[in-house]
Chains A and B, each alone.
Chain A
Amino acid sequence: MLEVSGLTTRYGNISALRDANVSVGAGEVVGLIGPNGAGKTTLLGSIAGLLRPASGSVVFDGNDVTGAPPEVMLRSGLALVPEHRRIFTDMTVQENLKIGGVTRSADERAELLDEMALLFPVLRDKWDTPAGFLSGGEAQQLAIARALMSKPKLLMMDEPTLGLAPVLVDAIFELIDTLRSEGRTILVVEQNATRMLGAADRAYVMRSGEVVVTGTGAELRERSDLFDTFVGG
């Protein structure tokens, strides 16, 4: 479904991402792990259109979408839950969700809102609350629900558990499980490598701007040379 080949992205002269090759198949849950500064966020940003790659290609659903702006990427079926959630704090929970469904028809948006109310009971209780008043865990759920409102073929999440209390981290991983059982395709950047390996079908390990290895959780846990990845992030 997603084929990233030889993707390189620079900030000025610094290559934050070098020659990255990543693929995600339909229905797969894929993790992206590695220490801080490994280029995970840069990779997601380059796929989602927030950053323009210097070279390489992003092929999604058979179409070359390399370098397309975010609004075009979203329309092709890629949604990103950005780092730090970036929910619209002055807007209500419902308004945030509606914006997430801005590309959908009014009828479809109404159906999706009902769907989100079922999937995220916490949000349903705060429908008309300004999103700025949500707790960290609620805000993260809102950010994920907002991305799901676009009915993405591929959902990408950047550090969904960052800064959350352990019990909320559990909730996010449960959510990933639920989404997986619905057959959704997901690519998650996660600092919590051990838990990610448990939740994902497969993972890529990144280090200093490069994708160094891929494999299933069991395979990656065997690799003692990746030890710093598990304790470092």
Chain B
Amino acid sequence: MTGLLQNLIDGLGRGSIYALLALGIAVIFGVMHLLNFAHGELITVSGYASFAVFQSGWTWYLVAPLIIVVSVLASLLIERVAFSRVRGASDFTLLLTSFGVHFLVSAMFVMYVSASVKSFPRPGWVTDTYSVGSLSIEVFDTVVILVTLVTLIATAALLQRTMFGLSLRAAAADFDTARLMGVRSDSVIRGAFALSGLLAGIAGIFWLMRAGSTTPTGGIDPMLKGVLAALIGGLGSLRGAVLGGLALGMAEVLLRSRLPAGVAPLTEGVVFALIALLFIFRPQGLITVAHAERV
């Protein structure tokens, strides 16, 4: 029982980061039907920015907000340079464009920075734990879970209570009709990319704190986790994305600790197999979305 509870807490910590990534992917998918395979590049770019400022002696207190700023700006820049040119194109074109951005960004870091791993210090408390009864809880997980909770509440408030949030929801439901009401397609799409970048930035802080390094291909892992979580939740559903992220985190932790020693290194593979199974029985994901109109 304690073991299970321990797994759940660990899984919640891991899943929170996935949830933030998946939410950013779902927000973009909602307004422009783009499954953004370049989402992880926001973390790659933030990682290199962090590396650069650590060289000039910055500390995590300054680096953390910088990561958010860099991630938002990178998200807006990618929209401007790449995705704004394929608005309204077929889903397949959008998909290929996002792959293109993904490969281009990693190639640029290989060519102009370095192909090798760039390391920076991790905050000292990342590995600290504290005990509650017989549970051993990571300080890091606790911070991640709390920050994610606050972020999700703030995002929900943004979507429910602000005109930007209403516009975003209206555009996701029926883009043409939203425009008929006067919702500007430019502002709602840029806003979606900014929000997506902000969520990726918050996730990125934790991702980079734990990794303590960045590589040109460092965006693949967070991208895969985010995309999978969004798919598990039912693409386009924001609640689904969060649930999908948490479910993915839990599944990873549970499997890693429960699988026989010989199979444990293959946890990722087992998770993918389970996801494949889920899609066989529930291709629309956990939450069904009435299909959104495309830009």
Chain A count of residues within 8 A CB distance of the other chain: 26
Query: CB within 8 Å of A: which of B176-195?
Result: 176-185
* B183 nearest CB neighbor, chain A only: A102
Tell whether A150 is near chain B: CB-to-CB under 8 Å: yes
* A81 nearest CB neighbor, chain B only: B180
Tell whether A70 is near chain B: CB-to-CB under 8 Å: yes
Q: Contact flags (1/0) for B183-210 with A, using CB distance below 8 Å?
A: 1110000000000000000000000000
Q: Chain B contacts of A86 at CB under 8 A?
A: 174, 177
The CA-CA distance from A95 to B183 in the complex, in Å, is 14
A91 touches B290 (CB 8 A): no
The CA-CA distance from A51 to B253 in the complex, in Å, is 52
Tell whether B78 is near chain A: CB-to-CB under 8 Å: no
Which stretch, B8-16, B92-100, B103-111, B164-172, touches the partner chain A? Answer: B164-172
Q: Chain B contacts of A90 at CB under 8 A?
A: 169, 173, 290
Given A88-B177, A102-B163, also A75-B182 (CB < 8 A): yes
Main secondary structure of the interface of B (DSSP, over half): helix
* A78 nearest CB neighbor, chain B only: B180
Query: CB within 8 Å of A: which of B254-288?
Result: none
Residue contacts A-B, CB under 8 angstroms, 27 given: A48-B180, A49-B179, A49-B180, A50-B176, A50-B180, A69-B179, A70-B180, A71-B182, A71-B183, A74-B181, A80-B180, A82-B180, A86-B174, A86-B177, A88-B169, A88-B170, A88-B174, A89-B290, A90-B173, A91-B166, A98-B166, A100-B181, A102-B167, A102-B181, A146-B181, A150-B181, A150-B182
* B170 nearest CB neighbor, chain A only: A99
A99 touches B181 (CB 8 A): yes
Instruction: Give the residue among A69, A71, A86, A150 with the most B Cβ atoms within 10 A.
Output: A71
Count of chain A to chain B residue pairs whose CB atoms are closer than 8 Å in the complex: 63
Tell whether A208 is near chain B: CB-to-CB under 8 Å: no
The CA-CA distance from A157 to B185 in the complex, in Å, is 23
Tell whether A103 is near chain B: CB-to-CB under 8 Å: yes
Q: Contact flags (1/0) for A34-63 with B, using CB distance below 8 Å?
A: 000000000000001110000000000000
The CA-CA distance from A95 to B177 in the complex, in Å, is 14
Q: Contact flags (1/0) for B131-175 with A, using CB distance below 8 Å?
A: 000000000000000000000000000000001001101100110
A91 touches B173 (CB 8 A): yes
Having A103-B182, A146-B181, one finds 17 other A-B pairs with CB under 8 Å, namely A49-B180, A50-B176, A71-B185, A74-B180, A89-B173, A89-B290, A95-B166, A95-B169, A99-B166, A99-B178, A99-B183, A100-B181, A102-B166, A102-B167, A102-B182, A102-B183, A106-B163
Q: Chain B contacts of A80 at CB under 8 A?
A: 180
In whole Å, how far is A220's beta carbon from the nearest beta carbon of chain B? Answer: 30
Q: Chain A contacts of B170 at CB under 8 A?
A: 88, 91, 99
In whole Å, how far is B162's beta carbon from the nearest beta carbon of chain A? Answer: 10
Q: Chain A contacts of B181 at CB under 8 A?
A: 74, 99-100, 102, 146-147, 150
* B173 nearest CB neighbor, chain A only: A88
* A102 nearest CB neighbor, chain B only: B182
In whole Å, how far is A108's beta carbon from the nearest beta carbon of chain B? Answer: 12
Q: Chain B contacts of A75 at CB under 8 A?
A: 182
Q: Chain A contacts of B176 at CB under 8 A?
A: 50, 70
The CA-CA distance from A74 to B178 in the complex, in Å, is 11
Given A69-B185, A86-B174, also A99-B180 (CB < 8 A): no
The CA-CA distance from A103 to B182 in the complex, in Å, is 6
Q: Chain A contacts of B179 at CB under 8 A?
A: 49, 69-71, 74
A74 touches B182 (CB 8 A): yes
The CA-CA distance from A34 to B131 in the complex, in Å, is 77
Q: Chain B contacts of A100 at CB under 8 A?
A: 181
Q: Contact flags (1/0) for B48-68 with A, using CB distance below 8 Å?
A: 000000000000000000000
B169 touches A91 (CB 8 A): yes
The CA-CA distance from A98 to B181 in the complex, in Å, is 10
* A80 nearest CB neighbor, chain B only: B180
The CA-CA distance from A158 to B290 in the complex, in Å, is 24
Given A48-B180, A71-B182, A86-B174, also A99-B290 (CB < 8 A): no
Instruction: Give the residue among B178, B179, B185 with the most A Cβ atoms within 10 A.
Output: B179
Q: Which 4 A-B pairs have the closest CB atoms?
A: A103-B182, A74-B182, A70-B179, A86-B177
The CA-CA distance from A150 to B179 in the complex, in Å, is 12
Q: Chain A contacts of B178 at CB under 8 A?
A: 99
The CA-CA distance from A147 to B180 in the complex, in Å, is 9
Q: Chain A contacts of B167 at CB under 8 A?
A: 99, 102
In whole Å, how far is A36's beta carbon from the nearest beta carbon of chain B? Answer: 21
In whole Å, how far is A116's beta carbon from the nearest beta carbon of chain B? Answer: 14
Q: Chain A contacts of B182 at CB under 8 A?
A: 71, 74-75, 102-103, 150
The CA-CA distance from A71 to B186 in the complex, in Å, is 10
The CA-CA distance from A89 to B183 in the complex, in Å, is 17
